[in-house]
Structure 1
Amino acid sequence: MDIRTYFAQGAPLLFDGAMGTYFASQPGRAEERCERACLTRPEEILHIHRAYLEAGCRAIKTNTFSVSADLADGMDETARDIVDAACRLALQAAASYGAYVFADLGPAPLDRSRTPAEVYQTQAQWFLDLGVTHFVAETLSDDEGIREFAHWLKKQCPEAFLMVSFAVGHDGLTRAGRLGGDLYRRTAQITEVDAVGFNCVSGPHHLLEYIKTLELSGKPLAVMPNAGYPTVLGRRTVFQGQPDYFAGQMVQIVRAGASIVGGCCGTTPEHIAQTAQALEKPLPKACPAAPEKRPKLTMDVSNSLWEKLEAGKHVITVELDPPADDNSEGFLEDVQALRDAGADTVTIADCPIGRPRADSSLLACKIKRELGMEPLPHLTCRDRNMNATKALLLGLSMEGVHNVLLVTGDPIPTEDRDEVKSVFNFNSRKLARFVSVLNESTLRASMRIYGALNLNARNFEVELRRAQEKEECGVTGFLTQPVLSAEALDNLKLAHATLQGKILGGIFPVVSHRNACFLNNEIAGMRVCDEIVALYEGKDRDAAEDLAVTISTRIAKEIFPYTDGFYLMTPFRRVALMERIIKNIQR
């Protein structure tokens, strides 16, 4: 029966459960990659397919979830071999049950030589060549490449059926920080996508509650939750959700509007068998209910930095490195001195050059609470996963800190990399989008998002394009690298003409000839022109500081028409020098 005819009859389509976790639960298989087993242990994979079919499912997925990652890494031969074997096994298993076979496309990694659309298209062509025309792109955290892939697929095979499924947590967010509801709506609007839904990460209860909040599109809704949440026993990760509970929840999910159901991580043939039995019983008629709107609480807060920027006033922000120990007295004294000199805000680096220092966000809360000054903490992508990032942002908001500067973060020093690992769940654009989602869904007062802009980039067109992408992700202002050359000034003028966000122009007071040479040779993103370098030759400390004040004041005047404020960077904790510069540029 054609799958579209099947859906027209109104009966839910029951899929299989989790190939990966079920295979891993077998003796001696925990460390083995289940997709590779299509080649090395085909009889075991065939047996698992048949176990789910015998349990009562009407559709199975090919054992190819990780092939997208293989292709993204350039392992085409391995990927093709797995697809060939997996298709043969799935088609063989499904034939005697009259079940549908879906080509399983796992998420395509980003930032590789192949785009996600190319990854999906390459393997989809292999599936089409083998006679498989039903596809599920599952466990996605964003919709990168889906629109292009859907268009391509229906051109190649108009009768193809494409289902797209996103992985959301109980808060409705994906691992990429996207709102599941937004992804659902965007994807359902793609004509060539036939069904949309959710799988993995969440257990059945949370996915049931989540789909109740959605305005359904009219296309088949797919819901394939995990069997509850994992726990670690010894060295094994196991799911303890019971099949009877899972089946009862799946009945409720169908009543809530799902027409495609099945299981993800932890679901066994027994979960599917009990679900099949439960769905055979007449389902009570459910009155269609309006989505359960959960209004987001809001509160009015003062954000003096943003208020001044919005009012068109030039602001002054000064960067201070956090202490390397637990003594904050000197740091707070410096902040107070800068505030008294006329600085509007202090911005605090987040473990600069990858070395541990006092936490920038905790210091920001301390500044806000004890000095009443508006802080701007840096938040890097280097040291926190999504959970830690969200927790930190919630804490900042509670403490009245509503400005953050999002940066990738300096790499961990080479000598530390064996023991200290970077995280990088995000790049700065994804992190901005994640904070924007929290602004919409969770935070009672919006967090103003700032990004970095490198005016000294070798290819500034690429840098400017990235800045525009940051704006699309929610960035409302930029702090630039220092203007210490004619090229940087020209790039600032171009940025001013191109970007919508507020621009705080970078000013770094060079304090010696040695300092200028060091910046040019050892600090990424810095460029001191030869003319300025030459001015420092032979100068002692006092003369060099006087020169730094003169040059910084001149630069401030030059960049004033193209900025909304100044971003001063403090060298070597020379706060008295910064006070002189602040007083000069305020005249």
Structure 2
Amino acid sequence: MDDIRAFLSRKPLLFDGGMGTYYKAAPGTDCEQANLTDPAGVRKVHAEYLAAGADAIKTNTFSLPRLAAGHVPGWEKLADAGWKLAAEAAAETGAAVFADLGPAPDTEAVPAAQVYTAVAERFAALGAKNFLFETLSSDVGILEAVRAVKAQVPEAFVLVSFAVLPDGYTREGVYCKDLVRRMTESGCVDAVGLNCVSAPGAMRTLARGLAGGALPLSVMPNAGYPVVTRTQVRYQGKPEYFARELSGMAAEGAVRILGGCCGTTPAHIAALRAALDALPERKLSAEPAKLSTTEVKPVENDDAFLRKLNAGEKVIAIELDSPRNADLTGYLEGARKLQAAGADLLTIADCPIAQARMDSSLVACRVHRELGMCTLPHMTCRDRNLNATKALLLGLYAEGVREVLAITGDPIPTAERDEVKNVYQFNSRKLAQYIVSLAGEDREMPTPMTVFGALNLNARNFDVELRRAGEKLENGMSGFLTQPVLSEQAVENLRRTRETLGSRAKILAGIMPVVSQRNAIFMENEINGIHVDEEIIQKFAGLDRTGGEELGLAISLEMARKALPYADGFYLMTPFNRVALMERLIAQLRTEVLQES
């Protein structure tokens, strides 16, 4: 085939379908292994798609980035064989061959950019001129790899395609318009698009929202939505429907590159070929309209806590764990007392230590509704996937809750609770990015929610914790609630945080009264992220409950004074639901500490 760019100026480019679902690999075997174990079978699939009318085919190498990242021996041989089989098949018809790269995991040890670059350069050395990075849920590492490809093969044509749910977000919570904008602005990507996850009808709606960009748009939907049986996953979308929806996109001028993903067979591609051939040829205008890059300006929410915080006043947030049973009577009374004592915000943990309690978001809504108090529910990545998270966020917004605390969450101890599964679809940084992306023009929320994060002042390697704090800010967080300040080192780390992050971050210093020596020893040894100085532990020796509370208050006030120069307020943690103790602490903070500032 001649240059892809020239081809696209005349008519749409038609890809093949889903190799991974059409080729029947042995159960538990990567389809790519067939490049070596069954080359005739792989070549036959390529030939069927070409006979159906495909202008371009993908190498059978989707999983190579994952295999390369895991240092699986022999991935290079799979790349070589996959390229050879596709090139041989395409030579008979003159079709284009795209080196196919699926998603790569991104870790500190092996960054995604390193993996993508290594695999892409392998293909470039084999003679590849066209590259497809597909089924991506983020763009981490992609542009670095594309630039490396262009340095090695300046004439290369690179298509980057993202897997997007029908609501426009990837499984990692990144909005498709933001991804398309970043690819467009990069100056090194030649085409951008969507593939997998969504069926043709949903993808047509998404494509309309992305149409008019400076880059050619690609769509490669699944044949339909999957039907899971006992032994396999099936896609029941009919070829005729598939062809009608996709050719409609081409007729509208929304897309220039089309093809299929999971469940699409040669019959789907043949039907689409016939539909495309029936369309009149269409030439692109010399200067296509550019995708808008205007960023949505945040709109300040009408929230008393945020107004006070942003005005530079010191605030007090207090955490009160939700009940273990279904009775909120006592909890609401405790919240009412803390509000009367002077708390600006009530925070509610999301099943702390991975033990089930009443849902933090539902409790936050009830408190806000009945008491008019600002609330900050914690939201972990442990127990909800993307859909459940979005549903909950929309409910919170509708109830007037405007702040959330995004945290990864304590893992569930698997040895004790084998029947309960962790989710962890994303980490706290990606969750924050997702939450703030829900607001804006044509999005789900008219104004953004404010996202806070956790900051562990007691981390053994605080340099790493501080670096991650900066990353959290870059991903949309506005500030941090810290772990308890119960040591001089914690105070020093708080000072470093303020010095490093400056005014970019609002910081609420954690204050948690220790109430007994047993309590101090337990927190030191069993609660992740808390460190209690040995000197403090020994001070509680022999004290009764009254004496322990008095000493706990005194230490809390001392730590608050030390933390105050570096904090925008305090985040108080209530031990054992002792509301009366926290009423006293709030009163003393207001009269003895905050007055001094």
Output the TM-score relative to the length of structure 1: 0.94
1:124-168 Cα offsets, whole Å, 9 max, x none, are 232223222321000111111111111111122223221111111
Q: What RMSD in Å do the two structures reach over aligned CA positions?
A: 2.4
Q: Residue 478 of structure 1: which of 477, 480, 499 is its match? A: 480
Q: Which residue of 2 aligns with 1:559?
A: 563
1:512 partnered with 2:512: no
Q: Which residue of 2 aligns with 1:20?
A: 20
SS at match of 2:575: coil
Q: Which residue of 1 aligns with 2:467?
A: 465
Cα offset, 1:286, TM superposition:
10
After the TM superposition, which residues 402-413 of structure 1 pair with which residues of structure 2 at under 5 Å, given as runs? 402-413=402-413
1:540 partnered with 2:544: yes
SS at match of 2:23: helix
Q: Residue 96 of structure 2: which of 77, 95, 100 is its match? A: 100
- Residue identity opposite 2:131 in structure 1: F
1:243 partnered with 2:247: no
The CA distance in 1 between the partners of 2:185 and 2:290, in whole Å, is: 20
Cα offset, 1:291, TM superposition:
8.2
SS at match of 2:193: strand
Cα offset, 1:284, TM superposition:
7.8
SS at match of 1:125: helix
1:114 partnered with 2:114: no
- Residue identity opposite 1:412 in structure 2: I
The CA distance in 2 between the partners of 1:478 and 1:9, in whole Å, is: 51
Q: Which residue of 1 aligns with 2:384?
A: 384
SS at match of 1:347: strand
After the TM superposition, which residues 34-49 of structure 1 pair with which residues of structure 2 at under 5 Å, given as runs? 34-49=31-46
Q: Which residue of 2 aligns with 1:125?
A: 121
The CA distance in 1 between the partners of 2:344 and 2:169, in whole Å, is: 35
Cα offset, 1:412, TM superposition:
0.7
Check the 8 A contact 2:213/2:290 in 1, yes or no.
no
- Residue identity opposite 1:489 in structure 2: V
Cα offset, 1:113, TM superposition:
2.5
Q: Which residue of 1 aligns with 2:594?
A: none
Q: Which residue of 1 aligns with 2:66?
A: 69
Bigger shift: residues 411-420 or 433-442: 411-420
1:270 partnered with 2:267: yes
Q: Which residue of 2 aligns with 1:164?
A: 160
Cα offset, 1:569, TM superposition:
0.7
1:67-90 Cα offsets, whole Å, 9 max, x none, are 111112221x23223222222221
Q: Which residue of 1 aligns with 2:580?
A: 576
Cα offset, 1:191, TM superposition:
2.8
The CA distance in 1 between the partners of 2:496 and 2:586, in whole Å, is: 26
The CA distance in 2 between the partners of 1:8 and 1:392, in whole Å, is: 43
Cα offset, 1:361, TM superposition:
0.8
- Residue identity opposite 1:262 in structure 2: G
- Residue identity opposite 2:219 in structure 1: V
Cα offset, 1:287, TM superposition:
11
The CA distance in 1 between the partners of 2:329 and 2:532, in whole Å, is: 33
Q: Which residue of 1 aligns with 2:55?
A: 58
Bigger shift: residues 253-262 or 45-54: 253-262
1:232 partnered with 2:228: yes
- Residue identity opposite 2:445 in structure 1: L
Check the 8 A contact 1:21/1:266 in 2, yes or no.
yes
Q: Residue 180 of structure 2: which of 177, 184, 191 is its match? A: 184
1:175-221 Cα offsets, whole Å, 9 max, x none, are 11111111112112223322211111222222222222235343332
Cα offset, 1:45, TM superposition:
1.5
The CA distance in 1 between the partners of 2:292 and 2:234, in whole Å, is: 33
Q: Which residue of 2 aligns with 1:195?
A: 191
Check the 8 A contact 2:8/2:256 in 1, yes or no.
no
Cα offset, 1:38, TM superposition:
2.2
Check the 8 A contact 2:200/2:245 in 1, yes or no.
yes
Residues 245, 424 of structure 1: alpha-carbon distance in 2 compared, 3 angstrom cutoff: same
Q: Which residue of 1 aligns with 2:595?
A: none
1:304-341 Cα offsets, whole Å, 9 max, x none, are 22121112222111111221121222222221221121
Check the 8 A contact 2:456/2:529 in 1, yes or no.
yes
Check the 8 A contact 1:23/1:29 in 2, yes or no.
no
1:410-435 Cα offsets, whole Å, 9 max, x none, are 11124235221111011100000000
Check the 8 A contact 2:181/2:291 in 1, yes or no.
no
SS at match of 1:169: coil
SS at match of 1:201: coil
1:265-312 Cα offsets, whole Å, 9 max, x none, are 12110111111111112428699999899x99x998632221211122
The CA distance in 2 between the partners of 1:178 and 1:364, in whole Å, is: 26
Output the TM-score relative to the length of structure 2: 0.92
The CA distance in 1 between the partners of 2:36 and 2:383, in whole Å, is: 38
Residues 6, 302 of structure 1: alpha-carbon distance in 2 compared, 3 angstrom cutoff: closer
Q: Which residue of 2 aligns with 1:352?
A: 352
1:477-535 Cα offsets, whole Å, 9 max, x none, are 21011111111111112212232121111001011122222222222211122332232
Check the 8 A contact 2:120/2:145 in 1, yes or no.
no
**Unpaired segments ≥5 residues, structure 2:** 592-597
- Residue identity opposite 1:305 in structure 2: F
Check the 8 A contact 2:177/2:210 in 1, yes or no.
yes
Instruction: Using the aligned pairs only, state the percent identity.
Output: 51
SS at match of 2:436: helix
Q: Residue 448 of structure 1: which of 445, 450, 454 is its match? A: 450
1:445-494 Cα offsets, whole Å, 9 max, x none, are 32110100111112222211111111111111210111111111111122
Q: Residue 281 of structure 1: which of 273, 278, 282 is its match? A: 278
Q: Which residue of 1 aligns with 2:323?
A: 323
Q: Residue 151 of structure 1: which of 134, 138, 147 is its match? A: 147
SS at match of 2:135: strand
Check the 8 A contact 2:169/2:175 in 1, yes or no.
yes
The CA distance in 2 between the partners of 1:503 and 1:467, in whole Å, is: 11
Cα offset, 1:408, TM superposition:
0.8
Residues 146, 290 of structure 1: alpha-carbon distance in 2 compared, 3 angstrom cutoff: closer
Q: Which residue of 2 aligns with 1:491?
A: 493
Q: Which residue of 1 aligns with 2:258?
A: 261
Q: Which residue of 2 aligns with 1:503?
A: 507
The CA distance in 2 between the partners of 1:412 and 1:344, in whole Å, is: 32
- Residue identity opposite 2:339 in structure 1: R
Moved over 6 A (4+): 284-293
The CA distance in 1 between the partners of 2:149 and 2:281, in whole Å, is: 38
SS at match of 1:585: helix
1:527 partnered with 2:523: no
The CA distance in 2 between the partners of 1:300 and 1:582, in whole Å, is: 28
Q: How many residues align?
A: 582
The CA distance in 2 between the partners of 1:260 and 1:345, in whole Å, is: 51
Check the 8 A contact 1:135/1:162 in 2, yes or no.
yes
The CA distance in 2 between the partners of 1:524 and 1:236, in whole Å, is: 41
The CA distance in 1 between the partners of 2:108 and 2:561, in whole Å, is: 43
Cα offset, 1:237, TM superposition:
2.1
**Unpaired segments ≥5 residues, structure 1:** none
- Residue identity opposite 1:511 in structure 2: V
Bigger shift: residues 47-56 or 6-15: 6-15
Cα offset, 1:64, TM superposition:
0.9
The CA distance in 2 between the partners of 1:60 and 1:311, in whole Å, is: 58
Residues 398, 300 of structure 1: alpha-carbon distance in 2 compared, 3 angstrom cutoff: farther
After the TM superposition, which residues 333-348 of structure 1 pair with which residues of structure 2 at under 5 Å, given as runs? 333-348=333-348
- Residue identity opposite 1:366 in structure 2: R
- Residue identity opposite 1:517 in structure 2: I
